[in-house]
Structure 1
Amino acid sequence: MMRTLAEINEKIGQQKAVVLTASEIKARVAEVGVTQVAKEVDVITTGTFEPMESSGAIINLGHTDPPIKIRRCWLDGVPAYSGFGAVDLYIGASCTVETKDGEEARVRKTTPKFKRGGGHVIEDLIAGKPIQLRAEGQVTDCYPRASFETTISRETINQFYLFNPRNLYQNFIVGVNGGERQLFTYLGPLQPRLGNAVFSNPGAISPLLNDPKLQLVGIGTRIFLGGGVGYVTWEGTQHFPLQKRLPNDTPIGPAATLALIGDAKSMDARWVRGCYFKNYGPSLMLGVGVPYPVLNEEVVARCAIQDKELVAPIVDFSIPRRVRPTFGLVSYAQLKSGRITIEGKNVRTAPLASMYLSLQVAIELKQWIEEGKFTLTEPVASISMERSFLPQDRWTEF
């Protein structure tokens, strides 16, 4: 059985395409097998809703009168990068509010604003809320203005789009703490003496675990991004497809990543939410969905993968090194059961990703396709599967 993308898109345009989520596919394959499902289904949708701190937004403000060449800028107190076009900005999801000299300790104690970061500003702009802007300029003959303050919103700026250098980790780690004190990490609090275990990838419903060799995802792939339409632009930072893999081709730890882009003005704040990790900092919870065209039976076979067939490494954060010791591998079925065993100890588990909202991303994307609102794209180039991962092992002491 073979289909073409053009044939699938024609059915989508006629609202005749048969679309199942990854969860539905797995259940259907268990009932009737891969061959029958491949005959029945045209598109499979996947989704995740999890923290993706390597995200941010490009904003163009438009020129003031007289013009300003912005070189320092703050959005609701969060610094935005301004070292390129005169009124172009980039705000990172994990950037924190800056306070005036001497105010940091007071702010920590008296207001939750210290927990606010770029992710919250991006969420508020998407939701249509006003944001205070303060800018300092480099005075030149063509840009004579030295400073500027105003209130901006989604409707008063030009371009406003997410450009995310690293999203959609193809698998990740399980964090634990074998030490004697509580640790505050990008996975959240880790209790001492193996008091808990936290995992971030949603497992078998996660987009890239259903396409382990990235045979269907590439540059130009149209996706669900933050409740709007987005695209894959390149490999993501820390892209490491050469990670060790199981016989089913799925990686045993962090592997491929993707860089994504999408018009934030068309996004929905339900799927783009600023968040904060205690004693670690702000981040961004982001909904991303990837559709897979059922071109052949192999696509269905890959998407039939189950949590019991996927593993992640258990990493001890109590050792403050780049390469930390591990307690071996654990399946996502075990992680989702709520308990795992580490060196004979029964340890509670919890997901950082929202399993419910990850499923809802796949369901919403499914509805878009069924209604003919979202067609699939052929990648214009593939994502490298040969990229190695280079550490920084050289340093200079001052």
Structure 2
Amino acid sequence: MSQTIADINAKIKAGKAKVLTATELKSLVVDIGVTQAAKQVDVIVTGTFEPMESSGAILNLGHTDPPIKIRTCWIDGVPAYAGFGAVDIYLGATQEADPSDESPQYRGGGHAIADLIAGKTLTFKAIGHPNDCYPRANFETTITKESINQFYLFNPRNLYQNFIVGVNGGEETLYTYLGPLQPRLGNAVYSNPGAISPLWNDPDLQLIGIGTRIFMGGGIGYVAWEGTQHFPLQKRLENRTPIGPAATLALIGDAKQMTAEWVRGCYFRNYGASLMMGVAVPLPVINEEVVARAAVLDEELVAPVIDFSIPRRVRPIFGSVSYAQLKSGKITIAGSTVRTAPLASLHLSEEAAKTLKDWILKAEFTLTEPVAMLPCDRAFLPQDVRGF
């Protein structure tokens, strides 16, 4: 069987498309096999809800009277970048509030972004660069998502195809981007939700490309480019899934459409602020091979177990474990049983996929053809001190 995205969209608009979440598709394949399952699905919906640290929002404040060219600014006490345009700014998710500000120290850009999406009113302060075009020296006001022009998320790195499992073989608790890691292998933390996550189900990026329409934070977004640290050349198993961090995506979406349910600020103790977001990506079943790739199970996916107690770029590895083992709640490392916990919400990852499935079944969402495919030849370059 084969069909085009246009064929699938025609079915969606006619209310005849057969749509399954990745979890439903995998169960169906187990029951009846790839060939028969491929006859019963037009769209497979993948999803995740996890920390997406390399994220941020672009905002256009609109011009003041007299006009200002913003040099430095703060949104709810969190510094934002103002190095382009007069009133265009970028608020990074991991940027933290200034210690001298009245905002709590655990607050960062992810919280401010989530609060704006939730409809809250936030303070805005700016220092200008006075000149003949923009004479104003400073400005203070309050803003909401309705009182500014553009407000969209542009996230340079989201949706890791795979990631690591963090452990701590040392003697002291470590506070990391995976949360606290207890000493003497006291716990293991993983961040990828496993087999339902988007890029596991399209391992060679044959479907997802630049221009792919997605569910992003409760609204509609798009794949904008390859993500930073995009590393499709990672070593892979026979099923084409990577053994460690591999492909990533850069995403863009209108934050004014997004909802508080799907975008939340978060803070990692002694590490910093971040952003949790729900994303769902539809995969068009254009042939049987799509179903074969998406049938991959947690038992068939592995991640490396990394010891954070060694503070180097390349850390010791305690081998690899499957996502089925991780989701069981415990793994074995060096003969010891270690409890595991996900950083991603497995429940909300499923709910993101179910939400997009519902949109498609109601013909509120159609699929797009990528305007270009993502590169599959990117190496991963380290950074070292070089001479001048």
Using the alignment, how far apart are the partners of 1:2 and 1:238 within structure 2? 34
Q: Select the residue among 194, 205, 224 that pairs with 1:203.
A: 194
- What is the correspondence of 1:272-351 to structure 2 with a 5 Å cutoff? 272-351=263-342
Is contact 1:77-1:99 (8 Å) kept? no
Counterpart in the other structure of 1:256: 247
Using the alignment, how far apart are the partners of 2:159 and 2:61 within structure 1? 29
Is contact 1:3-1:295 (8 Å) kept? yes
Q: Select the residue among 102, 116, 119 that pairs with 2:107.
A: 116
* Structure 2 segments unaligned to the other structure (5+ residues): none
Counterpart in the other structure of 1:42: 42
3-state SS of the aligned residue for 1:205? Answer: coil
Is contact 1:56-1:164 (8 Å) kept? yes
Counterpart in the other structure of 1:59: 59
Q: TM-score, normalised by structure 2?
A: 0.99
Counterpart in the other structure of 1:269: 260
Amino acid at match of 1:94: T
Amino acid at match of 1:27: S
Counterpart in the other structure of 1:69: 69
Task: Show CA shifts across 1:60-102 (max 9, x none).
Answer: 00000000000100000000000001000000000000033xx
Task: Show CA shifts across 1:266-308 (max 9, x none).
Answer: 0111100000000000000011110000111110011110000
Amino acid at match of 1:68: I
Task: Show CA shifts across 1:119-176 (max 9, x none).
Answer: 0000010111001000000000010000000000011000000000000000000000
1:166 aligns with 2:161: no
Compute the RMSD of aligned alpha carbons. Answer: 1.1
Q: Which has the higher helix share?
A: 1
Using the alignment, how far apart are the partners of 1:52 and 1:35 within structure 2? 36
Q: CA deviation at 1:381?
A: 0.4
- What is the correspondence of 1:146-157 to structure 2 with a 5 Å cutoff? 146-157=137-148
Counterpart in the other structure of 1:7: 7
Is contact 1:5-1:293 (8 Å) kept? yes
Task: Show CA shifts across 1:226-279 (max 9, x none).
Answer: 010000010000000000000000000000000000000001111000000000
3-state SS of the aligned residue for 2:146? Answer: helix
Using the alignment, how far apart are the partners of 1:384 and 1:142 within structure 2? 43
Using the alignment, how far apart are the partners of 2:148 and 2:273 within structure 1? 24
3-state SS of the aligned residue for 2:39? Answer: helix
- What is the correspondence of 1:168-207 to structure 2 with a 5 Å cutoff? 168-207=159-198
- What is the correspondence of 1:20-31 to structure 2 with a 5 Å cutoff? 20-31=20-31
Bigger drift between 10-19 and 355-364 goes to: 10-19
Using the alignment, how far apart are the partners of 1:95 and 1:287 within structure 2? 20
Is contact 1:74-1:135 (8 Å) kept? yes
Task: Show CA shifts across 1:3-25 (max 9, x none).
Answer: 11111000111111110000000
Amino acid at match of 2:80: A
Percent of aligned pairs with the same residue? 72
3-state SS of the aligned residue for 2:83? Answer: coil
Using the alignment, how far apart are the partners of 1:40 and 1:390 within structure 2? 43
Amino acid at match of 2:284: P
* Structure 1 segments unaligned to the other structure (5+ residues): none
Say how many residue pairs are matched.
Answer: 388
3-state SS of the aligned residue for 1:313? Answer: strand
Counterpart in the other structure of 1:235: 226
Counterpart in the other structure of 2:236: 245
Bigger drift between 133-142 and 30-39 goes to: 30-39
3-state SS of the aligned residue for 1:203? Answer: coil
Using the alignment, how far apart are the partners of 1:333 and 1:31 within structure 2? 19
Q: CA deviation at 1:396?
A: 6.4
Using the alignment, how far apart are the partners of 1:304 and 1:39 within structure 2? 14
1:379 aligns with 2:370: yes
Q: CA deviation at 1:394?
A: 2.1
Q: CA deviation at 1:32?
A: 1.0
Task: Show CA shifts across 1:190-226 (max 9, x none).
Answer: 0000000000000101100000000000000000100
Q: TM-score, normalised by structure 1?
A: 0.96
Amino acid at match of 1:128: G
- What is the correspondence of 1:204-223 to structure 2 with a 5 Å cutoff? 204-223=195-214
3-state SS of the aligned residue for 1:40? Answer: coil
